[in-house]
Amino acid sequence: MDRRKFLFRTSTQEERYEFDGIRPVAMTGGNARHDRITGNIYVALRSRLRGTPCSNHGPNLGMRTIGSSIRFPDALITGTPFPDADQIAPGVVVEFEVLSPTSGATDPIEKVREYQFVASILRYVIVESAAPGLQVLHRRTGEDPWTVHALTADDILDVPEVGIAMPVAEFYEDVGLDQAAAGDPAASWAACPCRVCPAHPPRPARGRADRDPRRCCG
């Protein structure tokens, strides 16, 4: 199957798939918590990008990665205009993935390596769903390696590539985090209370939760 046939197939069925360049791969299902976090991310991005050349989309819009592969991130930002009928977003600059119990190995490992080869992606945000926290991978140019840092609910997520910033806590509004963490004591780094173990890089300096008018996509 080629990319064209895959996109036609996805437009005619309810099940969600990604494309590994050879065959469709079924996407893992989410839950209500995953859906609430994804919705909060969309609202946070939309409210800050409105009136700028940038736009946010997801999770029904795909993006090309290595070769013919196609991924469907939970949220993405692009500054490249494209027709409303397109199924693939061009020029993706920032990408968000919300972890689920079944995507925990794919997002932090496989996709980190895969997105490394997409020159337009300058920031990849992995959003924890078991406890409030983000793993942020960023770089100055598409040829640079990833730099990684962690944020908790008290921090601000800066996205200088598109000139915005927002509180991490905004992604977790109306989400039952305490209950989630209690049900998964072996959750990822965000659930760890020590904040000093090797999985916790030093906190970056906090930024401003507003938009920098000097920077935007394109």
pLDDT at site 101: 67
pLDDT at site 160: 97
Query: What is 31-191's CATH topology?
Result: tt1808, chain A (3.90.1570)
pTM summary value: 0.74
pLDDT at site 15: 62
Return averaged pLDDT per consecutive 10 residues of the chain, 218 residues in all.
Answer: 56 59 58 91 97 92 81 92 89 92 63 89 94 95 95 97 97 76 42 42 43 46
pLDDT at site 12: 54
pLDDT at site 38: 94
Domain boundaries, the chain: 31-191
pLDDT at site 110: 79
pLDDT at site 177: 67
CA torsion angle for 93, 110, 147, 144 (degrees, to 10)? -60
CA angle 198, 204, 205 (to 5 degrees): 155
